[in-house]
Amino acid sequence: QITLKESGPTLVKPTQTLTLTCTFSGFSLSTSGVGVGWIRQPPGKALEWLALIYWNDDKRYSPSLKSRLTITKDTSKNQVVLTMTNMDPVDTATYYCAHRSYSSGSTWFDPWGQGTLVTVSS
Partner 1 sequence: QSVLTQPPSASGTPGQRVTISCSGSSSNIGSNTVNWYQQLPGTAPKLLIYSNNQRPSGVPDRFSGSKSGTSASLAISGLQSEDEADYYCAAWDDSLNGLYVFGTGTKVTVL
Establish if 10 lies at the interface with partner 1 (CB under 8 A).
no
SS3 content of the chain, % helix, strand, coil (to 5): 5, 55, 40
Write out the H or E segment, with its range, that includes residue 54: strand 48-54
Instruction: Select the span of 8-16, 23-31, 81-89, 110-118 touching partner 1 (CB under 8 A).
Output: 110-118
Binding residues for partner 1 restricted to 30-59, rule: CB under 8 A: 37, 39, 46-49, 52
Establish if 67 lies at the interface with partner 1 (CB under 8 A).
no
The CA-based diameter of the chain, rounded to the nearest angstrom, is 47
Establish if 107 lies at the interface with partner 1 (CB under 8 A).
yes
Establish if 9 lies at the interface with partner 1 (CB under 8 A).
no
Query: Would you say 55 or 109 has its CB closer to partner 1?
Result: 109
25-46 residues labelled b (16+ CB within 10 A) or e (exposed): eebebeeeebbbbbbbeeeeee
Q: Is the Cβ–Cβ distance between 93 and 120 less than 8 Å?
A: no
**Residues touching partner 1, count (CB under 8 A):** 27
List the one residue from 7, 64, 72, 75 that touches partner 1 (CB under 8 A).
64
Establish if 93 lies at the interface with partner 1 (CB under 8 A).
no
CA atoms within 13 A on the CB side of 15: 1
Contact footprint for partner 1 (CB under 8 A)? 37, 39, 46-49, 52, 60-64, 96, 101, 103-115
